[in-house]
Amino acid sequence: MKGIKRLIFLSLLVSIGLGLSIIESMMPLPFIAPGAKLGLSNMVILITLVVFDIKDALTVGILKSLIFTLITGSVTSLFYSLSGSILSCLLMYLIYKKFSSIFSLIGVSIFGAMAHNFAQVLVASIMMNNFRIFSYIPILQLTGLFTGYFVGLTSKFVIKSLKKSIDKIFYSND
Amino acid sequence: MTKGDKILIVIIVIISIVSLIFVNISVFSYQEKFISVQVNGKEIKKIIFDSSLIGETVPIETEYGYNLIEIGDEKVRVIEADCPDQLDVKQGYISNVGEVIVCLPNRLVIEIKGMDEVEIDRISR
């Protein structure tokens, strides 16, 4: 019973991430830097990481990237989103586990945004064979700072109430 | 929000601004400049800015997609693209050395370079 509940929760998180990604792709931030995004779906990965575990967070992140590619139909963007979500997930896990006394969820989320930006620019420069793209990094990191801050803030509120209901669902006697 | 978060934010802001300034300084150290159009990492076109080219449009059609760039007075922009997000069109003009327009779906990079390389041919129509 617990396994099924867990499965349903994780698939719900994946679909929430997909919905957020679609909404996000409809409203880019063209005034700051091309390619800058809100990173709303990073929220889902962060929430999974905290409420569940690193394995589930990686699963959610990879599934979200794969299914989002099926929706948009652009295969090249799969590599960007996949590399970004895997690296940010690993770094967020590291920071959350080892340095949670120093950084709150906001710091964890900012680290995730940084890793996401870095991985995407790295993959883009490898695929295009042009390392000039790294000149985008400062402005991307600045926008990532703001979006990461708000993603962390939102996740904090979500996790607070989600943990309560998850305890109720998973540890009730059924 | 802990103290570590605040320190992290301040450090990132400082590093980003310093590197932004650094990028901008390296941009102004060139005199002559030209447009370099690269598809999939290979340079397929070099265009030197010239007053006779102002307002000209250059179609770039590759196996990855189609883009139309417009040359202005010491600046260049993409005015048409068949990629879904149109980010390259929304970016508008670029004019400084080192600035790039990137169209990821079409694997297109339009870069303004400083004249430190030889063997440049003019655009032919």
Burial class, A78, CB count within 10 angstroms (exposed 0-12 / middle 13-18 / buried 19+): middle
- Nearest Cβ partner of B102 from A34, A99, A141? A34
Domain ranges, ordered by start, for chain B: 1-30, 32-125
Which residues of chain B carry a pLDDT beneath 50?
A: 117-125
Chain B residues close to A74, C-beta within 8 Å:
84, 105
Question: Rounded to whole angstroms, what are the CA distances from A162 to A4, A158, A167, B87, B95?
Answer: 18, 6, 9, 36, 49
Chain A residues close to B16, C-beta within 8 Å:
138-139, 141-142, 145
pLDDT (tens digit per residue) in A126-162: 887 777 777 778 888 888 888 889 999 999 999 888 8
Instruction: Look at residue A32 in the predicted model and tell me its pLDDT.
Output: 57
Inter-chain touch B102–A133, beta carbons under 8 Å: yes
Chain A residues close to B8, C-beta within 8 Å:
103, 107, 110-111
Write down the CATH number for the domain with range B32-125.
2.60.320.10
Q: Which of B27, B88, B102, B108 to mutate against chain A (most A CBs within 10 Å)?
A: B102
User: Which CATH architecture is the domain A2-171 placed in?
Assistant: Orthogonal Bundle (1.10)
- Nearest Cβ partner of A132 from B15, B20, B111? B111
Average pLDDT over residues A26-39: 66
